[in-house]
């Protein structure tokens, strides 16, 4: 209650540079400084990921605030950045599937970050039909072997869902090791998907990924 009152009386402050008296959560100068650096990362011979921003500086801080401190007011800002960077009219898929969070995480956060980012772009084909059945820890610091062991059987299709013969885009906020996207695509190909691609807002620089500039 006190926080709400303070927010009402105090002028809005930029989440990145603390400039006050602005209309949006991030000031124009900071927003402008977040430049898209789109890349296509090849994760495997059958999976490439289109991604828009390197995960550093301003974007890293904002994405952290959005996901872990529930700054949901940042969602429209990310959506706008995606709109400026990705040609969604050229994205023709039968299905768009978000990387699912385990229910425990959704409950502890109270919202679903990936859905707010992408659902609006893929309305007709958006389908959260893959379920995470194992709550895996964050995978970034684990070895490739540990990651693949932890992700074994981590996902399954909801009963009654078919991906047979479909062209699918898997969406997530960030690609870090790529292990989660690889595991999802493996499941979807096993279930008969014709083609699986991935799209994320941000990426980290990883040595094992092959970069192709679009």
User: What residues line the site for Zn ion (CB under 5 A)?
Assistant: 14, 16-17, 19, 27, 30
| Non-local CB neighbours of 28 within 8 Å, separated by 6+ positions | 22
Q: How many CA atoms lie within 13 A of 98 on its CB side?
A: 20
| Non-local CB neighbours of 144 within 8 Å, separated by 6+ positions | 177, 179
Residue closer to Zn ion by CB (options 34, 201) is 34
Smallest distance, Å, CB 16 to Zn ion? 5
Smallest distance, Å, CB 22 to Zn ion? 7
Residue closer to Zn ion by CB (options 35, 152) is 35
Residue closer to Zn ion by CB (options 33, 157) is 33
Gap between the Cα atoms of 154 and 102, Å rounded: 10
Smallest distance, Å, CB 3 to Zn ion? 21
Residue closer to Zn ion by CB (options 53, 121) is 53
On the 0-12 / 13-18 / 19+ scale of CB atoms within 10 A, 15 is buried
Smallest distance, Å, CB 117 to Zn ion? 21
């Amino acid at each position: 209650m006190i926080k709400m009152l303070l927010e009402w009386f105090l002028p809005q402050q930029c989440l990145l540079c603390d400039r006050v008296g602005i209309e949006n959560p991030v000031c124009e100068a900071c927003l402008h400084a977040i430049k898209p650096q789109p890349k296509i990362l090849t994760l495997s011979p059958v999976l490439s990921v289109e991604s828009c921003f390197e995960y550093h500086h301003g974007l890293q801080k904002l994405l952290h605030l959005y996901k872990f401190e529930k700054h949901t007011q940042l969602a429209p800002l990310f959506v706008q950045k995606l709109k400026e960077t990705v040609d969604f009219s050229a994205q023709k898929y039968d299905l768009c599937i978000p990387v699912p969070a385990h229910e425990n995480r959704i409950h502890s956060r109270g919202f679903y970050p990936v859905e707010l980012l992408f659902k609006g772009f893929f309305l007709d084909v958006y389908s959260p039909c893959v379920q995470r059945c194992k709550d895996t820890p964050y995978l970034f610091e684990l070895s490739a072997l540990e990651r693949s062991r932890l992700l074994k059987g981590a996902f399954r299709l909801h009963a009654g869902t078919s991906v047979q013969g479909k062209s699918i885009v898997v969406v997530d906020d960030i690609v870090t090791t790529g292990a989660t996207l690889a595991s999802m695509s493996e499941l979807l190909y096993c279930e008969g998907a014709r083609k699986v691609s991935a799209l994320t807002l941000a990426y980290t620089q990883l040595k094992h990924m092959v970069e192709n500039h679009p």
